[in-house]
Amino acid sequence: MRFSVARGFSSVVQGFSSVVQGFSSVARGFSSMVQGFSSVAQGFSSGVQGFSSVVQGFSSGAQGFSSVARGFTRVARGFSRVARGFSHVARGFSHVARGFSPAILIALFATVAVRAQQVTFDRILHADREPQNWLTYSGSLFSHRYSPLTQITPGNVKNLELQWVFQTRGPAEPVEKFEATPLVVDGVMYTVLAPNHVVALDAATGRMFWMYSPRLSPLARVCCGRINRGLAILGDTLFMGTIDGHLIAIDAKVGRPLWDVALSKPELGYSLTVAPLVIKDKVIIGPAGGEYGIRGFIAAFDAKTGKEVWRFNTVPGPGEAGHETWPANSDAWEHGGGSIWVTGSYDPDLNMIYFGTGNPGPDWNADPRPGNNLYTDSVVALNADTGQLKWHYQFTPHDEFDYDSTQVPVLADIQWQGRPRKVMLWANRNGFWYALDRASGEFLRGKPFVRVNWAEGIDDKGVPKRVLNASPEGTLVYPNNQGATNWYSPSYSPRTGFFYIPTWMDTSSTYTKGPAEYKAGNQYTGRFPTMPVAPLRTGPGNVNTRTPQEGWGAIQAFDARSGELKWQFKMSDVTDSGVLSTASDLVFAGGREGYFFALDARTGELLWKGNVGGQVSAGPMSYGVNGRQHVAIAAGSALFVYALRQ
């Protein structure tokens, strides 16, 4: 562990102590200045008396000049005291400056505004009891991305108005995607500007209280953007992963780092883009980097100290269960991928956490890794206290199409075939959406929600019936490399019983097998597939000129119990937006078209639409402050917050 006193503009820990010393020195300095100016006055008085003595000197001779000399001596002593006073002042402000960068000076003045906030785990566990707050990435540990607030309704949503906008600013990177979901705690919003600049804002007005900017290693390697998806909070401490592979604890009141842990070496491709998950007294996180041949893991850290408590390897090594699914007498498992880049979920009754894992490496050439390649493209259920594997389910064995299973596990308690059941709903990148028993991992259902041709379906045991593979000549595969959906959050409404999925419809890629050789720090992928739809889109100047036959976007609603498609809202372009549902039967989402919109949660009817001027690549959330419900969404390089017209 390395403490981040050396990170940032200066030593913040010493800086806070220096502030006290500095302002004390300032006070002493100003006191000296007063004394000094008093001496100046006395000195000038002596000087006047001295010059008077000069005048008299023609009569008094040497005695007058002696008085003048004494007067100027007093003047010199006075200015000397002034100089000492200013020296005290300079030293005082030097103490202050050594403790604070400009960003931290903002934090100093914010300490009055940002109250001490004790977010206990019990508050996070029962987030539904305080719907005005948004305490974790998906709004709750069941990851419904559902707001119990009801002030904004289908009847009045047409009266939504923009309340404030927070623009990305230096030292953040404004041309990068804004993928973070904010947290809101008792009227204070916390979010992350790309890549790792944390800000605290007044949730009512957008006024910034403080910004924390860690010093990032230039060796950081990321495949798909220098981004961050959000924070976690426990007590009055925020937790953030960084693109150079560090987990940092930050004082939520003033933006001061408390501890800093390096998880691995950034030059090998290990990065942290996921919002951490707080469970009890632990912070749980894992690295991205599957495109660089990392070996993935999920690890838990003590929230107070940063000490690692347990680690689960998503690619098992020799002697670990699942290692037999990798080739024998080979080091393929050492570069096997299985990255973590979407926040998991938690069931307190079962004391299990659930995380989805990324693709195996290399991505598009499976020749170096025959076998099913556990636990890649899977959901793993772990004991929250020990990290012990309880069960797993692999969505895409021996993946060649980059179908990461890094989607949000949505936990729901529903009636299933006439009896209550704890299920997990999962919209997968491979084109199927699933219902699993989250206590046992039993496969319950798997149905396609887009056009799929790589598999004919899923058998009764939950294994896909695969019919296509990558080839040297090229294989056309539906859905495309980015998948039917991806990391962007789905939503589940307990009121409607619908599962809402942001979807890429009718997209395809051509996979042509190419060579893949592992070299530390380089991408380890094989040949990149071709596709009509750009996998990533950032910056200005991107215009959608595709026909619908080449792919389009939709928000789809499925009945979680029956699997029936209830409605579909079509968009001309694909979407990287998450979905938010509310207790007033609204659904909020956006897309690459640059709109943020509200739909009727039961019918899919468009009720309201606003232009946010940039693509939406984040999940919406809702909170309450000063008796008003707000809805927030990041788009382009800004955060937009809406409420009803007053």
Residue ranges of domains in the chain: 4-100, 121-644
Q: How far apart are CA 423 and CA 542, in angstroms?
A: 40
Q: Is the pLDDT of residue 586 over 90?
A: yes
Residue 57: predicted pLDDT = 36
Q: Is the pLDDT of residue 474 over 50?
A: yes
Q: Is the pLDDT of residue 515 over 90?
A: yes
Please compute the mean of the pLDDT values over residues 440-461 and round it to a whole number. 97
pLDDT band (50, 70, 90) for residue 88: very low
Q: How many CB atoms lie within 10 A of CB 399?
A: 25
pLDDT band (50, 70, 90) for residue 550: confident
Residue 452: predicted pLDDT = 98
Percentage of the residues of the chain whose pLDDT score is greater than 70: 81
Q: Is the pLDDT of residue 412 over 90?
A: yes
The CA–CA distances, whole Å, from 51 to 40, 57, 71, 78, 558 equal 16, 9, 8, 17, 99
Mean pLDDT across the chain, nearest whole number? 86
More confident residue, 91 or 10: 91
Q: Which of 402, 404, 506, 576 is catalytic?
A: 402
Residue 2: predicted pLDDT = 37
pLDDT digits (tens, 9 = 90+) for 111-154: 434 765 799 999 999 999 999 999 999 999 999 999 999 999 99
pLDDT band (50, 70, 90) for residue 537: low
- The answer to whether 209 and 107 are in contact (CB under 8 A) is yes
The CA–CA distances, whole Å, from 347 to 235, 410, 439, 625, 627 equal 21, 11, 9, 29, 31
Percentage of the residues of the chain whose pLDDT score is greater than 90: 77
Residue 27: predicted pLDDT = 43
Q: Is the pLDDT of residue 77 over 80?
A: no
Q: How far apart are CA 528 and CA 230, in angstroms?
A: 29
Catalytic residue status for 585: no
Q: Is the pLDDT of residue 502 over 50?
A: yes
Q: Is the pLDDT of residue 367 over 90?
A: yes
Q: Is the pLDDT of residue 381 over 70?
A: yes
Residue 549: predicted pLDDT = 76
Q: Is the pLDDT of residue 429 over 70?
A: yes
DSSP string, 166-177: EE--TTS-TTS-
Residue 539: predicted pLDDT = 52
Please compute the mean of the pLDDT values over residues 384-392 and round it to a whole number. 98
Residue 31: predicted pLDDT = 46
Please compute the mean of the pLDDT values over residues 394-404 and round it to a whole number. 98
Q: Which CATH number fits domain 121-644: 3.40.605.10, 2.40.37.10, 2.140.10.10, 3.40.50.720?
A: 2.140.10.10
Residue 542: predicted pLDDT = 66
Q: Is the pLDDT of residue 420 over 80?
A: yes
- The answer to whether 289 and 221 are in contact (CB under 8 A) is yes
pLDDT digits (tens, 9 = 90+) for 491-500: 999 999 999 9
Residue 321: predicted pLDDT = 97
pLDDT band (50, 70, 90) for residue 538: low
Cα 71 from chain centroid? 69
Residue 84: predicted pLDDT = 52
